[in-house]
Structure 1
Amino acid sequence: MGMISEFKEFAMRGNVIDLAVGVVIGAAFGKIVTALVEKVIMPPIGLLIGKVDFSELKWTLAEAQLAADGSELAPAVVIGYGEFINTIIQFVIVAFAIFLLIKALNRLARKKAEAPAAPAAPSEEVLLLREIRDNLKK
């Protein structure tokens, strides 16, 4: 079997295609969560704690060095911990959404497992024994 045909067989398996779809949906979901955190959740939180935009929070370790004409010789050295806070909030939201999804799927799987199974059809031996019993009754 050639390498190309092996690769085609591998790529066309259901698991690989499902994984690709999951990655694309996950990327889109990540964008939705980012927009939710930055545009919906963080503004009210910032307003409540003193009109702070978390994405702008930073520690300046060294100020920018400016030339006499005002042009920047070296940029400021900063630790942007506000973006880190935003990213942590995004992670918590994504993790919670995944938790709720898995919880719902587990609940559905449990309900399917608990559903009473249809009684199994009697085996040939039981049918034969019933026939013999019925013939003996006659």
Structure 2
Amino acid sequence: MCMLKEFKEFALKGNVMDLAIGVIIGGAFGKIVTSLVNDVLMPLISMLTGGINFSDLKIVLKAGDEAKKIQEVAFKYGAFIQNIIDFLIIAFCIFMMVKALNKLTRKKEEIVEEAPKGPTQEEILTDIKNILAEIKEK
């Protein structure tokens, strides 16, 4: 029973829920970026490079044979290039989001004005001393 209670406290903490939400949103964001790379950027890059389809780029180490049901063995470096482009775009987007959040945070800090400062302790003591001196003179 105690372990169940501890797990419930752990699972319902704000940090765990925030992390879960971040993972879900990150997964969806990853799909969007992958689509951007595969469906928008790579065709443009392919057009600029003379029609090269990066996902088809590979170095065949051993040819396959369909009749013998032997699969081809190859280094698929084109897919690797696409994954690198995916990573760079995701990293850039995250960088821009963090930069925007930092900018917003700084603006909020700038908006919060400091309360007007009151007199220092020495000034208050001097005022009390002057008031007491006036009372003593009367």
Q: Please give the alpha-carbon distance, in whole angstroms, between the structure 2 residues aligned to 1:10 and 1:121.
A: 45
- What is the TM-score normalised by the length of structure 2? 0.81
Measure how far apart 1:10 and its partner are. 0.7
Counterpart of 1:65 in structure 2 is: 65
Structure 2 residue aligned with 1:99, among 95, 101, 116? 95
**Sequence identity percentage:** 49
Aligned Cα RMSD in Å?
2.9
CA separation of 1:121 and 1:7: change in aligned 2, threshold 3 A: farther
Secondary structure of 2:41's counterpart equals helix
- State the AA in 2 paired with 1:105: L
1:118 and 2:107 aligned: no
Number of the residue aligned with 1:28: 28
Pairwise CA distance, 1:73: 3.3
Measure the CA separation in 2 of the matches of 1:105 and 1:62.
Answer: 50
Q: 1:132, 1:111 → 2: CA distance? A: 43
Letter in 1 for 2:59: W
Correspondence for 2:43:
43
1:109 aligns with 2:116: no
**TM-score, normalised with respect to structure 1:** 0.81
After TM superposition, give the deviation of residue 106 of structure 1 in Å.
Answer: 1.4
Q: Which amino acid letter does the alignment assign opposite residue 116 of structure 2?
A: P
Structure 1 window deviating more from structure 2 (107-116 vs 79-88): it is 107-116
**For residues 3-59 of structure 1, what are the alpha-carbon distances to aligned partners after superposition, in whole Å with 9 as ceiling and x for unaligned?**
111110111110000000000000000000000000000001101111111111111
In structure 2, how many angstroms separate the alpha carbons of the residues matched to 1:120 and 1:111?
22
Count of residue pairs brought into register by the alignment: 134
